[in-house]
């Protein structure tokens, strides 16, 4: 278990991490998301004592990092894959780490095997690809067989097979009852890997919730309906007090009514349906809606791109809301996205 309480980091006048409080629990993969510069790396560095907090604290299984006797046996971390001594072989690099942390030598061969680097164990990491460097960093994190693992962008530089391997590894580590905390910019990957999410923006906590809850609470859900009899469908729906919104491709979108109810209604009126599909935004869309106001570095963009960057809604896509509705999620009260989270809803 990792516990943060009021964790704060200031660099001069810049507050990189602002009174963060959350816990990372064992048994599930917890994803850590935030726009560039949100403070993720700084938070992770403070978790393992590489940066000292300006305020608040972090506890690893109830202790401060500097109170852990052999820290690698408690928490393994992949922060910067390039922090490897170029002159030593991969095997010797891990051996040095093992010896200085009271870890048995046999673990070196075990973790090299786990990450698939046995065949290059006696080569120098200097010549490694980015992906091989990531695997070596993951091997180092696993060395002490710790109950807590933390990975900053672990799939950087990995090919699809490598990405799949990292995902499976994280889920296996969590299923073994370990605490797994991982940051990634690859939203589709995160959506498949993490069960729980911590989202920060400008150093502050924006969400601490399940993956499913995060997507549901930060996106518009609706049902797409397509029929060869749109006029009759509209009349039937209006007769039930339901207002469908036509889409450019000839379908219609219906909010606040389940697909089950619509299907039953269609059956009752013998209305032919060619499509009846519940739609939900992707993690990427939900993330962009929540964090739009806290993005530090915007690209210069015109038209809809600029609107989106300013918080007007998620990117267009197969499940994106229609432009006219993009600013009005269900139950919208005119406040910014994420306001509810800030109030702890
Ligand atoms: N050593 C430092 N000195 C001054 N400012 C720093 C330092 N380290 C980080 N910062 C600033 O603190 C903020 C948070 O940076 P951090 O690297 O933690 O963000 P991040 O969420 O990891 O970003 P990214 O996703 O781009 O890696 C940024 O504005 C950054 O410029």
Question: What's the pLDDT score for residue 28?
Answer: 96
| Residue bearing the bigger pLDDT, 151 or 295 | 151
Which residue lies with its CA nearest to atom 8 of ligand 1? 42
Please say whether the beta carbons of 292 and 226 come within 8 A. Answer: no
Which residue lies with its CA nearest to atom 25 of ligand 1? 36
Coil, strand or helix at 20: strand
* 159 and 206 part of one domain: yes
| Residue bearing the bigger pLDDT, 172 or 322 | 172
Please say whether the beta carbons of 193 and 170 come within 8 A. Answer: yes
* 161 and 55 part of one domain: yes
Q: Taking the CB of residue 161, how many other CB atoms lie within 10 A of it?
A: 9
42: pLDDT strictly greater than 80: yes
52 within a domain of the structure (yes/no): yes
Is 228 touching ligand 1 by the criterion CB < 6 Å?
A: no
Q: Tally the C-alpha atoms within 13 A of residue 24's C-alpha that lie toward its C-beta.
A: 30
Please tell me the least confidently modeled range out of 83-87, 123-127, 210-214, 296-300. Answer: 296-300
Question: What's the pLDDT score for residue 283?
Answer: 85
Q: Are strands 245-246 and 222-226 parallel, antiparallel or unpaired?
A: unpaired
Confidence of residue 287 (pLDDT cuts 50, 70, 90): confident
**ipTM associated with this complex:** 0.96
CA 313, 317, 319, 321 dihedral sign is positive
* 25 and 47 part of one domain: yes
Distance CA 210, CA 69 (A): 33
β strands within the chain, DSSP E: 2-11, 14-24, 29-33, 55-60, 75-78, 148-152, 179-183, 196-201, 204-210, 222-226, 245-246, 252-254, 275-279
How does pLDDT run across 3-35, given as a tens digit for each residue?
A: 999 999 999 999 999 999 999 999 999 999 998
Please say whether the beta carbons of 54 and 10 come within 8 A. Answer: yes
Coil, strand or helix at 4: strand
Inter-axis angle of helices 106-114 and 130-142, nearest 10: 130
Closest CA to 48 of 29, 22, 23, 74: 74
CA of 65 to the centre of ligand 1 (A): 21
CA of 186 to the centre of ligand 1 (A): 19
* 153 and 68 part of one domain: yes
CATH number (domain holding residue 172): 3.40.50.300
**pTM for this entry:** 0.76
Please say whether the beta carbons of 31 and 193 come within 8 A. Answer: yes
Structural domain range at position 203: 2-74+146-216
91: pLDDT strictly greater than 80: yes
137: pLDDT strictly greater than 80: yes
Please say whether the beta carbons of 311 and 236 come within 8 A. Answer: no
At residue 198, φ and ψ (nearest 5 deg) are -115, 125
CA of 83 to the centre of ligand 1 (A): 18
When pLDDT is averaged across residues 181-209 and rounded to a whole number, the result is 91
CATH number (domain holding residue 265): 3.30.70
Question: What's the pLDDT score for residue 98?
Answer: 93
Coil, strand or helix at 209: strand
Question: What's the pLDDT score for residue 307?
Answer: 40
Q: Where does a domain end: 279, 298, 315?
A: 279
Question: What's the pLDDT score for residue 230?
Answer: 96
Query: Which atom of ligand 1 has the smallest separation from the CA of 51?
Result: 1
* 45 and 169 part of one domain: yes
112 within a domain of the structure (yes/no): no
Distance CA 292, CA 309 (A): 6
Please tell me the least confidently modeled range out of 212-216, 231-235, 322-326. Answer: 322-326
Q: Where does a domain end: 169, 198, 216?
A: 216
How many domains does the chain divide into? 2
Sheet holding 14-24, edge to edge: 14-24, 2-11, 55-60
Please tell me the least confidently modeled range out of 132-136, 147-151, 203-207. Answer: 132-136
* 56 and 178 part of one domain: yes
How high is the mean pLDDT of the chain?
83
Question: What's the pLDDT score for residue 330?
Answer: 33
Q: Where does a domain end: 166, 193, 216?
A: 216
* 169 and 274 part of one domain: no
* 231 and 205 part of one domain: no
Is 16 touching ligand 1 by the criterion CB < 6 Å?
A: yes
205: pLDDT strictly greater than 90: yes
CA of 48 to the centre of ligand 1 (A): 16
DSSP secondary structure string for all residues of 25-82: -TTSEEEEE--TTSSHHHHHHHHTTSS--SEEEEEETTB-GGG-SSGGGTEEEE--TT
Question: What's the pLDDT score for residue 84?
Answer: 64
Which residue lies with its CA nearest to atom 31 of ligand 1? 37
* 150 and 233 part of one domain: no
């Amino acid at each position: 278990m990792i516990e943060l309480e009021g964790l704060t980091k200031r660099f001069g006048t810049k507050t990189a991490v602002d009174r963060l409080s959350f816990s990372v629990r064992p048994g599930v993969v917890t994803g850590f998301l935030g726009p560039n510069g949100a403070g993720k790396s700084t938070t992770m560095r403070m978790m393992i004592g590489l940066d000292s907090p300006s305020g608040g604290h972090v506890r690893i299984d109830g202790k401060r990092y500097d109170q852990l006797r052999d820290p690698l046996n408690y928490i393994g971390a992949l922060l910067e894959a390039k922090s490897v001594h170029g002159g030593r072989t991969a095997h010797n690099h891990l051996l040095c780490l093992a010896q200085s942390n009271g870890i048995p030598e046999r673990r070196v061969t075990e973790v090299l095997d786990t990450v698939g680097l046995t065949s290059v164990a006696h080569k120098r990491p200097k010549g490694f690809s980015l992906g091989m460097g990531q695997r070596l960093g993951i091997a180092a994190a696993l060395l002490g067989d710790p109950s807590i693992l933390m990975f900053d962008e672990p799939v950087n530089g990995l090919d699809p097979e490598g990405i799949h391997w990292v995902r499976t590894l994280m889920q296996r580590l969590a299923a073994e009852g370990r605490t797994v905390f991982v940051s990634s910019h690859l939203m589709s990957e995160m959506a498949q890997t993490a069960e729980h999410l911590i989202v920060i923006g400008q150093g502050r906590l924006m969400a601490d919730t399940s993956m499913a809850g995060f997507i549901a609470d930060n996106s518009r859900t609706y049902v797409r309906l397509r029929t060869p009899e749109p006029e009759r469908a509209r009349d039937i729906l209006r007769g039930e007090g339901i207002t469908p919104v036509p889409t450019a491709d000839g379908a219609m979108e219906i909010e606040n009514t389940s697909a089950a109810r619509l299907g039953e209604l269609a059956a009752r009126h013998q209305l032919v349906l060619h499509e009846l599909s519940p739609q939900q935004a992707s993690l990427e869309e939900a993330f962009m809606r929540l964090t739009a106001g806290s993005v530090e570095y915007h690209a210069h963009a015109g038209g809809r791109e600029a609107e989106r960057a300013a918080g007007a809604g998620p990117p267009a896509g197969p499940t994106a809301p229609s432009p006219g509705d993009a600013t009005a999620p269900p139950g919208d009260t005119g406040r910014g996205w994420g306001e509810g989270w800030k109030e702890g809803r």
